[in-house]
Structure 1
Amino acid sequence: MKRWVDFVCMLLLLLRNNSVLSQLCVATALGWLLLKLLAKRRQRRECFLVDFTCYKPPVERQANAELSIYVSLSAETIIPENLKFQWKIFLSSGLGEETSLPRFIFNDEMVATLEEARVEMEETFFATSDELFARTGVTPQDIDIVIVTVATFTAAPSHASVVASHYKMKESVKTFNLSGMGCSAGVLAVNMARDLLLVNPDSYALILTTENTTINANYPGNDRTFMLTPCLFRVGGAAMLLSNKPQDAARAKMRLLHSIRTNVAADDEAYACIFVTEDDDDVYGVRLRPSLHAVAAKAVANNLARLGPKVLPLSEQLYYAYNWLCVKWLKMKVEAYVPNFKLAFQHFCVHPGGRGVISGIGKNLKLNEYDLEASRMALFRFGNTSTSGVWYEMAYLEAKRRLKVGEHVLQIALGSGFKCNTAVWEVLREKHPLESSCWDECLHRYPWDTRKNYTDDFCDQWLSRLTPIQPTSNDLDINTT
């Protein structure tokens, strides 16, 4: 502080001298000080995505449609009508034959334990982090901030502490553990990292996101509002490295421009549309109410209403304001105008929560199938991977060589609460041809037409094939002896 006081006093003394040289020195000093402040402010505001990786589960844990329904068949308490209902969800969900289930499904006992939940989490986090460190050259000791998001699984020590312990990170590392934040936590963590980087100059932030599916992979009850979760959610995860170091601007893949968070939990229906609880028979599960699509549409509309003025051209904003005035104040019978967000973004990563969610958001934003291709393919290949879903879409766009320097990408993530979080990225460099990707070895098969509808007769035919054969009395005697 004393140095700054002495510097100001020196400038005041120079100003008392009316010579041209003194005035030139003062002007030079003030200009240098202004440039210094602007550079420092720019440095504190920049948030770079250095790189990111997505988890690719082992091939031996892939679950086709028959294995998925076999998990439900193993629960003898499910009545045939609900089994058929669950099977129809499987077939029309938009999921393909290569999504992955947790490890315990492939064990003889098929019992979801706390240890199995920890194994799934650690496998995902360590695999993505190791690949990220290898690709960026950043070591675990260089990390200053760790943010971990696991939607429905909480443990002690926290997941962030598990990561810090495994990699022997420095004692000054700041760790944050986000649990219960739903599928939107992956984008929410980016918003949190940006805010932390604003007050921590020259820092690296590591973000790890996943959905622990072990505890929710099977629902043995008969309440249909609980049956969607095991049908849609699959194993997956992602790791992102964010930085505010100016030297990382040359090698970073993207720059974060905007991040908007919207929470409509004040609405009781929105708060309860996704709820972890027990059904009437005290069976644990995740309840999804039919009002989910309406709640999601409202949350997305509120979020984009805040994002629009930051990204849309002025002409589009004026036309929207004029339409709003005609509808709300003048009571004119005209259709409400939806701004054309394709004027601001070249690519869209819509939360792959299900085929209906993707189609609903695409319809509201007037997106075509090309715009929704990454979302549909991520759902088809990897399923609903919760917090990491939008990053599988980003990896798809990269693998297809669609991200060009200067283009903008919009990520839209939805989650319980109910929340809608968005992030706007500017592409700084394209993917290197030799970089690995979770889409390697299968990219040539996409895009794939996932719009299928199955009749009741088709479901009955498959169920008759999959119904387990009841053992005879002789079989029981042999097994007993």
Structure 2
Amino acid sequence: MLENPRNKQSQQNLLNEPSVHKYVKLGYHYMISNAMYVSLLPFIMALLKLFAYHHYDPITLASLTAFVASMATLYFALRPRQVYLLDFACYKPQPYLMCSGETFINQSMLTNSFSEETLGFQKKILEKSGYGPNTYVAETLLEVPMKQSIAGARKEMEMVVFGAIDELLAKTGVKVKDIGILVVNSSMFNPTPSLSAMVVNRYKLRGNILSYSLGGMGCSASLIAIDLAKRLLQNESNSYALVVSAESMTLNWYGGANRSMLITNCLFRLGAAASLLSNRTSDRRRSKYQLRHTVRTHKAADDEAYKCVFQQEDEEQKVGIALSRDLMAVAGEAIKTNMTMLGPLVLPFSEQVLFVANLVGRKMFQMKMTQYVPDFKLAFEHICIHAGGRGVLDKIKKNLALTQWHMEPSRMTLYRFGNTSSSSLWYELAYSEAKGRVKKGDRIWQIAFGSGFKCNSAVWCALKTVDSSKEKGNPWMDEIDEFPVHVPEVAPIVL
């Protein structure tokens, strides 16, 4: 098993460097990170001396006390409400919905939609996907012939969405009448009535609930939904927000020959996640996490980014989702922009100084030096990267100099559950919990990217140590000892 690096993470990273350099850098980080506290010492000493050598009359002291109290009251009254994550749940489909690579190819053959060439291409995609034999697909896609219908898609969504919500309500014990906000996201299936109306109808949620359905927002939609719920909670008093992330495969099977559209057939799998947020101060003690930051990046103003994941008809008027050859480059640029916005919020001051110094040297003084990539391992103990594909995970690992341990939740989610679209981040966090890795005070970074093109981040702080032995409803618990598994590296597929 890989060693848990959470304790003194930054020191451990530095200890792997050459002996002289590691101690210089370690001393630098300590000095810069604590510079503010050191600089405050003279000011504090001067204040203490001032109060020691001067005597103030009672009226002056009372006025000063009242002023400080009023300022403190005003601060606490006007500051945004804190948002907590009570808990979350991930849906684990029944075993009969498992679909190995061999089963997938056999089902594809039975549709009579594909030539030998296109079947061979899909087989190569599966071999290089990093998927294991036990991912899940919609029931309709396992039938012969496939029955693609709105009724089938509704049944699929009801199964995964209600399954995740039922598990969440059982874990938290929250009454449905106390839920004041509902956000449901599904990119490809948006029926009338909406999916949020479907949830309201099933659970008989109250009539004045703030209900939203987010459609067409891709694999990063879960964090968009979290951000929306956060903004709503900061303007509501004593409320709960239910956020549900899912995707439907039933109506989105592509039966043509366009290679860029065949990839989505091979990669998307069945899954859903539900999370319950609260702005009640009293809920802090029983919540798992506190939401610290959400950062959203949207690149659709650029035509290349806008069209790199695009639903359209092919030459035979068959509808599918086309993935552009520029997808990796676009994703890399979006992730880079998002991290640039996130960095000042989470990175230690020492890393920010190094980044700015490097930027000034390159841009202002035209110095020949490589761009400095901040060490995000100093800011987070756990990193959940959307399990969208093996290639993107490999690239992020390389660019951020992440360890196998950091990548393990994303890689194992990709292997066990596949790309479940926006819900994948929650399967990854559930993996870390099942492994017993989440400790009180740990910082978690969720980062997801998808059509639009968008990249979004959420930063959480663990309010308690998650005891894996007491976890109920975690989709990993009955098989967590089997992971991690080795997934051999392979060359990327060429369109």
Using the size of structure 1 for normalisation, the TM-score is: 0.87
User: In 2, are the aligned partners of 1:49 and 1:255 still within 8 Å (CA)?
Assistant: yes
Which residue does 1:219 correspond to in 2?
254
Distance in 1, Cα, partners of 2:105 & 2:78:
55
Q: What are the within-5 Å matches in structure 2 for residues 53-452 of structure 1?
A: 53-216=89-252, 218-432=253-467, 433-436=469-472, 437-452=474-489
Amino acid at match of 1:410: W
1:5-16 alignment, distance < 5 Å: none
SS at match of 2:112: coil
Residue 336 of structure 1: how far off its partner (Å): 1.1
The CA distance in 2 between the partners of 1:207 and 1:442, in whole Å, is: 27
Does the aligned pair in 1 maintain the 2:186–2:248 contact within 8 Å? yes
Deviation at 1:271, TM superposition (A): 0.3
- Which secondary structure does the structure 2 equivalent of 1:337 belong to? coil
1:463 counterpart residue number:
none
Deviation at 1:32, TM superposition (A): 4.5
Amino acid of the structure 2 residue aligned with 1:124: V
Counterpart of 2:127 in structure 1: which amino acid? L
Query: How far, CA to CA, are the matches of 2:373 and 2:492 in structure 1?
Result: 35
Tell me if the contact between 2:362 and 2:369 (Cα under 8 Å) persists in the aligned partners: yes
| CA shift for structure 1 position 77 | 3.4
Contact 2:245–2:274 (CA<8 Å) still a contact in 1? yes
CA distance in 2, matches of 1:47, 1:136: 16
- SS of 1:89's partner is helix
Matched residues in 2 for 1:116 and 1:401: separation?
38
Q: Partner of 2:315: helix, strand, or coil?
A: coil
Larger Rg: 1
Aligned-pair distance for 1:92? Answer: 1.0
Residue type matched to 1:430 in 2?
Answer: T
Alignment partners' CA distance in 2, 1:455 and 1:425 = 33
C-alpha displacement of 1:228: 0.8
Q: Post-superposition shift, 1:330? A: 2.3
Q: Distance in 2 between matches of 1:276 and 1:325?
A: 42
Distance 2:67 2:174 in 1: 38
Q: Which moved more, 1:74-83 or 1:220-229?
A: 74-83
Give the letter for the 2:212 counterpart: F
Distance in 2 (alpha carbons) for counterparts of 1:236 and 1:40: 40
State the Cα distance separating 1:137 from its structure 2 match. Answer: 1.1
Q: Distance in 1 between matches of 2:280 and 2:113?
A: 56
User: Quick one: distance in 1 between partners of 2:190 and 2:387?
Assistant: 23
CA drift of 1:28 comes to 5.7
Distance 2:450 2:84 in 1: 25
Q: 1:124: how far off?
A: 1.1
The separation in 1 between residues aligned to 2:365 and 2:318, in whole angstroms, is: 52
In structure 2, relative to structure 1, the CA distance for the partners of 1:454 and 1:410 (3 Å cut) is: closer
Equivalent-residue separation in structure 2 for 1:228 and 1:341 (angstroms): 31
- Structure 2: which amino acid aligns with 1:127? G
- Mapped to 2, the partners of 1:350 and 1:162 lie a distance apart of 30
SS at match of 2:470: coil
Distance 1:239 1:30 in 2: 45
* TM-fit CA distance, 1:30: 4.7
Supply the distance in 1 between the matched residues of 2:361 and 2:341 (Cα, whole angstroms): 20
What letter is aligned with 2:317? D
Q: 2:75 aligns with which of 34, 38, 55?
A: 38
SS at match of 2:251: helix
Supply the AA of the counterpart residue of 2:355: Y
Ranges of 4+ aligned residues in structure 1 off by more than 4 Å: 20-32
Give the counterpart letter for 2:147 in structure 1: V
Q: CA RMSD in A?
A: 1.9
C-alpha deviation, 1:454, in angstroms: 8.9
Using the TM superposition, give the Cα deviation of residue 107 of structure 1 relative to its aligned residue in structure 2, in angstroms. 2.9
Distance between the aligned counterparts of 1:51 and 1:41, measured in 2? 27
Contact 1:72–1:219 (8 Å) recurs in 2:
no
For the 8 Å contact 1:88–1:454, the answer to whether it is kept is no
In structure 1, C-alpha distance between the alignment counterparts of 2:68 and 2:461, rounded to whole Å: 31
Q: What CA distance in whole angstroms lies between the structure 2 residues aligned with 1:109 and 1:49?
A: 43
Percent identity between matched residues is 42
Q: How many residues get paired?
A: 436
How far residue 259 of structure 1 moved from its aligned partner, in angstroms, is 0.6
Question: Which one-letter code corresponds to 1:163 in the other structure?
Answer: V
Structure 1, unmatched stretches of 5+, are 1-19, 457-481
In structure 2, distance between residues paired with 1:340 and 1:31:
39
Corresponding letter in the other structure for 2:341: R
How far apart are the structure 1 equivalents of 2:332 and 2:65? 55
Cα drift, residue 299 of structure 1: 0.2
Contact 2:312 2:319 in 1 (8 A): yes
Q: 2:329 is aligned with what amino acid?
A: A
Q: Say which is worse superposed, 47-56 or 423-432, in terms of deviation.
A: 423-432
Write the deviation string for residues 412-445 of structure 1: whole angstroms up to 9, x where unpaired: 1001000000011101112242222100221111
Query: Residues 111 and 145 of structure 2 are in contact (CA less than 8 Å); yes or no, is this contact kept in structure 1?
Result: no
CA shift for structure 1 position 21: 7.5
- Counterpart code for 2:100: N
1:21–1:315 Cα change, 3 Å: closer
Higher mean alpha-carbon deviation, 310-319 vs 170-179, is at 310-319
Q: Deviations over 1:45-101 (max 9, x none)?
A: 311011000010001110011111122212323221221111010111011111001
